[in-house]
Each structure stands twice: as structure tokens, then as C-alpha cells.
Amino acid sequence: MTDAAAFSAPLPASRPRLIATDLDGTLLRDDKTVSARTVAALAAAEEAGLAVVFVTGRPARWMGLVAEHVHGHGMAICANGAAVVDLHRGLELAEVCPLPLPDALAIVGVLHTIAPGTSFAVEFTGGFGREAAYPLHRAAGPIAPVEKLLAEDGERAGDPLLKLLAYHPALGADEFLHAARAGAAEHGEFTRSTPSALLEVSGRGVSKASTLERYCAARGIAAEEVVAFGDMPNDIEMLTWAGRSYAMANAHPAVLAATTDRTAGNEEDGVALVIEQLLHGL
């Protein structure tokens, strides 16, 4: 096990007011559980007056796990910033920043051209749908060509599109990401949060950082008062925006390069470690 002392870092010069943390690979252990130490650290942070916001690529329907462990921290930014969810109100959507259907269809066309063999899935506010060839599905939903799933008169007609998912069975994960950004950046924001070649596409200007910044501004919280944690490329904008940011020891190389502070890995309660140090210094 890693020596926790090796990850001790200087604490923020000013008192933080909000903790923003990714979930998978960051707050959650690899078996998707929340450790007792982490639950206790989050509760102690809020007792000390710090707000806690979960900021994740997960859709709202996957938030049941952490919803079981909320104390005061009842808000979550989901789908890489496309939705703000109230965990205390049955996963109620408090805000939505959709990907316009014409942009989603344009992205599909580009990826079919530059990366033949790509398969797609869609995450609407009303549910999930996928193409038959899309292998990474965890929920029931309609199975149809993506053009039909995205049709204006389709099964989810009227539901905002939170995220378009694109999977390639042969390309490298970063290779696929770079190619998609080069070919279709004018239609959406491309990122990824898994080791596989699975892209997550949001509307232009929508990211974890953009929604967190807006959330904080509405509450009079400045970037300098935010401490953020993450491990994958979809966290980079948030980590560079926050006044203090920590990459997990298990983080993607691009995340390690984008941050100055480190903490222990998710299996070693790295988020809890920093919160404990932070509270000790207040």
C-alpha cells in the first residue's frame, strides 16, 4: 500500500468553501463502493461548513449508489455537466444542458466517415438507447440505428439529449478521441472517462467545469474557494478551473500533467486523505 504521507500537499491559502469530486476511479473504490472512511470524511467536511458536489460522467440513473451516502451533499453534476441532479428529491433534474439533435447527427456522420465501425448509444433525460452493435450497455432501452434514435419524431421525441456515446472496437482510446475532436469539434465537446475507446459527447461548451462554474457563481463561490478531485480526461477542465485540484495516483497521464497536486489512489481513499488534512488545517 502506498505511504499516505507521500501525498501530503500544501493546503489552500484561503479557506475552501466547496469540494467537487469525480466518482469512478476517484471517490469510489474499484468495486464501486464508498468506503466508511470516505463517507465519514464527506460528512465531516459538511459539518465544518464546506459544500460537497459530486461531478461525474454518470447519468442520473446511476447515482443511486452515492445517493445512499449523502448528508448535506444532495447535489450532483451528471453526464459531464449536461445535468444537475438533486439527490434528495429522487434524482430530480434541476438543470439540463442538452446536445442539439442536429449536432448529434452531424457527429454521427463524421465518425462514420473517419472511423468506420463506430457504434453509438444515446442518453436522453427519459432513458437510454443503443445500436445493436454497441457493446457497453447497462440499461434496457430501444435498440435501433442511431439515426432513428436521434430522429425528431423518435421514441424519445421531446426529451433533451444529454450525451451521445461512440464506441470503436479497434482504435486506441486517445487516438479515437483526438480524431473525433479534429473532425467534429464544431458540433460538440468530446471526452472520455474509461480505458476503452468510448467517447462521450456533450453540447458545445458543456463540461464538468462549465456547469460547476455556473453552480458556484450562483452561490457566490469563487474558483479559488473550490478543491477538486479527478482521474480521467473528462475531469481536466474542472481540475484546471478549480483553485486547488488533486489528481489521483491512479489518474490518466494527461490528468497528472494538468495538475500540480497528488493524492493517493481511489483504492486507498485518496479523497478522504486530503479532506482529513484539510479539516485538520482549518
Residue 9 lies in a domain: no
Residue 2 lies in a domain: no
Do 76 and 29 lie in one domain? The reply is yes
CATH number of the domain within which 110 lies? 3.30.1240.10
Do 79 and 217 lie in one domain? The reply is yes
CB contact at 8 A, 26 and 42: no
**Structural domain of residue 109, as residue ranges?**
101-202
CA distance 217 to 186: 27
Do 66 and 138 lie in one domain? The reply is no
Residue 5 lies in a domain: no
Do 196 and 105 lie in one domain? The reply is yes
Do 144 and 271 lie in one domain? The reply is no
Do 159 and 20 lie in one domain? The reply is no
Which residues contact residue 107 at a Cβ distance below 8 angstroms, ignoring those fewer than 6 apart? 164, 166, 180, 184, 187, 188, 201
Do 233 and 273 lie in one domain? The reply is yes
CA distance 121 to 183: 19
Final residue of a structural domain among 176, 202, 228: 202
Final residue of a structural domain among 202, 232, 264: 202
pLDDT of residue 136: 75
Q: What is the pTM of this model?
A: 0.89
Residue 7 lies in a domain: no
Do 105 and 189 lie in one domain? The reply is yes
Which residue is it, cell 428529491?
89
Residue 78 lies in a domain: yes
Q: Which three cell numbers stand for residue 81?
A: 455537466
Do 116 and 178 lie in one domain? The reply is yes
pLDDT of residue 9: 53
The closest of 171, 169, 155, 181 to 234, measured between CA atoms, is 181
Q: Per residue of the chain (282 residues), what is the pLDDT tens digit? A: 454 545 655 555 567 999 999 999 999 999 988 999 999 999 999 999 999 999 999 888 777 767 666 665 678 999 999 999 988 777 788 899 999 999 999 999 999 999 999 999 999 998 899 999 999 776 778 899 999 999 977 666 679 999 999 999 999 999 999 999 999 999 999 999 999 999 999 999 999 999 999 999 999 999 999 999 999 999 999 999 999 999 999 999 999 999 989 999 999 999 999 999 999 876
DSSP letter at 143 equals: B
Do 116 and 153 lie in one domain? The reply is yes
pLDDT of residue 69: 64
The closest of 23, 25, 24, 10 to 250, measured between CA atoms, is 25
Do 22 and 56 lie in one domain? The reply is yes
Alpha-carbon Rg for the chain in angstroms: 19
Neighbours of 272 (CB within 10 A): 24
Residue 167 lies in a domain: yes
Residue 1 lies in a domain: no
Do 156 and 172 lie in one domain? The reply is yes
Domain count along the chain: 2
CATH number of the domain within which 266 lies? 3.40.50.1000
Residue 4 lies in a domain: no
Final residue of a structural domain among 179, 202, 225: 202
